[in-house]
Each structure stands twice: as C-alpha cells, then as structure tokens.
Amino acid sequence: MYKAYLILSLAIIAGILHLSEGYTVNYSYEKGVVDILSKCPGRYCGRTQFSNGSWSACGPCERGARRNASSACQPCSETPIFYDWLYLGFMMIAPLVLHLLSVDMAIKKNKLQHKTWLLYVCVVVEVVIASLITLLVTPPLGSLALTSCRPRGLDDWYPLLHNPSPNYEGTLYCTQEAVYPMYTMVLVGYSALLVMVLVMRPAVVRKVAGDAEVTDAGAIYSALYLLPALTITHAVLAGILYTIFPFLVIVGSIISIATYFAYQQDQSMSALVKGCVRDVRSVIIIQGHWLLHSYGIIALTQLQQPALHGSLCLLVPLPALFYILTARFSDPSVIPPVAGVNRPPTPPTPLTRVRLNRVI
C-alpha cells in the first residue's frame, strides 16, 4: 500500500516537473530591448512597443493593457459582459446592505424616532453617488461606459502568484491588473463611499437625533469599520467572489429572511403573515430580500434564456412562504419525546406562551 502511494506521488511530482519545464528549465528567450517581437516567459509578462518600432524588455504591461498570444502588450478594448456588471453591482450592494443593517441597529439602540427614514435614504444616496463617481473617473473619463480586459480564469485575479523564474536565474516580476479595471474599480468605489459617509452622514445623524440623547454614538458610525473589512476581503478574495457571488446572494438572502422571521416573538402562521405587512419597514425588508434573491438568480443564469430564466424570479417568495408554513413544526414543545431518552425540560417559546395565555 505504501509503495503504491510512493509511486503515485513520484509520478505526480514528475508530471509537475515535466509541465513546468517549459516555464523554468532550459527556457530560452531574448532579454532586454529587441527589434523584432519575441515571446516572453510566464502568463503575464509582455513587451511594449516604443515609438521607434522596437520592443521593450519582458515585464509587466502598463495599466489598461494586457499581453496577447504573441507577448505584445495591447490596450484593453473589450466591453464588460453582463456578468461583469452584475459583479460590480454586487460589490456595491454589499456595503449598501451592511450600512442599512448598521443604521437600523443604531436607530433601535439609541431609540431614535424623529425622521429616521432620512438615515436610510442617506445610505442609499451615498452608495449611488459613490458608484457614479467611480464610473466617471474610470477611463474613459467622464463616461458611464467601460473598456476592460475580461477575466479568462481565476488566475487573472492573482497575477502576483504567476511571476516566472526562467531557468531559475531570477524572477521576472510581471504583476499587473490583468482584469482591468474590475480590481481597482471596486477599491475606488469603496474610497469614494468612505468620503461620502464622512461628508453626508454626520449632518443627517444630527438632523435625525435632534434633542434626543444618543447613548451609543459608535453604533451610528459602525459602518465605517465595514469599509476597511470589505476592502481587505476584496483585495484577497476578489477572484473567488467573482466566481461564486451569485450563490452567495441566493444563499445569503434565504438565510437572512429566515433569521428575520425567527426573531418574531409570535411564530404562529397568522402572526408571521401579519408581520410581513404591519408597517413600511417590514414591507421594505421583505421586498428587499426578494430583490436580492432575484439578483442572485439573474446573475446565476445571466438570462441566457430570458423567458425561462426570467420566470424563475417569480419563485422568490417561496423561502418566506416555506418558513411561514413550517414554523409551527419547529416548535420544540410539539416534538414528541424519544422512548428511553430523558430530555431536559424545554423553556417555553413565544408560541407556547401564546397558547398558554389563550387557555388561561
């Protein structure tokens, strides 16, 4: 058994060395400036053409350019596909949702009641303005259109991990933004959003708070801590997020709406239904979850078959309906005991207390 594992390991190592031989061992390429374009090692090293017709040494392409199959650095001239736009939208929706949640918690914690809707509107306006600024400052300047280099794989998000070492003589550092401008664009958007929060939020909070005593001002500005966290997450996991964000949106919206219903004190079917429409806040929360779920479905299918995939958005109320219809079955008080097993007494749930009050 151990001999088989050893032979298999040696075979894998030999295969890896054989595949990497073309990149590292006995690799011949022209160094320095050349008159005739020649190939460069690695995936992202390229040559830039000078005004006199010669080509630069192998290295990273300038920002806004990417190497082609001949190792020539060419300007990014592609148009982002529908999925790319949805990804950029997701990266701005994430701080929007987190900021709205932060504001909602701050309002409850500080018991603010005067014109609280202004805070929610302020959060939406901040994100919209930051998004527009990001689009306008990204080349072509002053336009909402984009020219980009489309991602061709997960590796394109991490060129730092693919700097070649031909013949092990040294490392060619060719780190660049291979997915221009989708990596730096999100960072610019978060920076613009931070400025918007610092400019707009204090004035709106002062207007909403009025003469009320703010017992925890940190809760109001806790959104500021979210932006650095989102920035680090994007810097490290951008490629992974680009690949799986439709699933994150769908699963996250389902878990979130279940959590919202679970916090309702009365878990009876009628109470949960009434709770969905008892005030404007509840209606907006439910509708927001449905919109997020639809966004995830659209991102996952990309509406390649508009009639079929668009009709799937009609199913977004199902998670909420499923919870409402099955909530009574999850009440611990109605679960029958298992024979021979001594189960500790279950504390009364809100649903149990409602039933007891009705009996009394």
What is the tens place of the pLDDT at every residue in 47-64? 999 988 899 988 999 988
Span 281-310, average pLDDT: 90
pLDDT at 210: 66
Span 190-206, average pLDDT: 87
Q: How confident is the model at residue 7 (pLDDT cuts 50, 70, 90)?
A: low
Span 81-91, average pLDDT: 94
CB 319 within 8 A of CB 294: no
Report DSSP letters for 165-222, one per residue: -GGGS--------TTTTHHHHHHHHHHHHHHHHHHHHHHHHHHHHTTS--S-HHHHTT
pLDDT at 338: 61
pLDDT at 355: 46
Q: How confident is the model at residue 290 (pLDDT cuts 50, 70, 90)?
A: very high
d(CA 157, CA 315): 34
Span 158-173, average pLDDT: 85
d(CA 263, CA 18): 58
pLDDT at 5: 46
Token reading at 180: 């221009």
Q: Inform me whether the pLDDT recorded for 356 exceeds 50.
A: no
pLDDT at 165: 85
d(CA 34, CA 71): 13
Question: Count of alpha carbons within 13 Å of 109, Cβ hemisphere only?
Answer: 15
Span 225-242, average pLDDT: 92
Q: Inform me whether the pLDDT recorded for 211 exceeds 60.
A: no
Q: What is the pTM of this model?
A: 0.80
pLDDT at 184: 92
Token reading at 264: 């309702």
Q: How confident is the model at residue 208 (pLDDT cuts 50, 70, 90)?
A: confident
- Rounded to whole angstroms, what are the CA distances from 223 to 106, 210, 248? 10, 21, 21
pLDDT at 110: 62
74 bridge partner residues: 66
Q: Inform me whether the pLDDT recorded for 16 exceeds 50.
A: no
Average pLDDT value for the chain:
81
pLDDT at 280: 83
pLDDT at 193: 93
d(CA 32, CA 168): 18
pLDDT at 195: 92
Side chain identity at 325, as an amino acid letter? L
d(CA 129, CA 131): 5
Token reading at 160: 């730092």
CB 205 within 8 A of CB 220: yes
Is residue 260 classed exposed, middle or buried when 0-12, 13-18 and 19+ CB atoms within 10 A define those classes?
Answer: middle
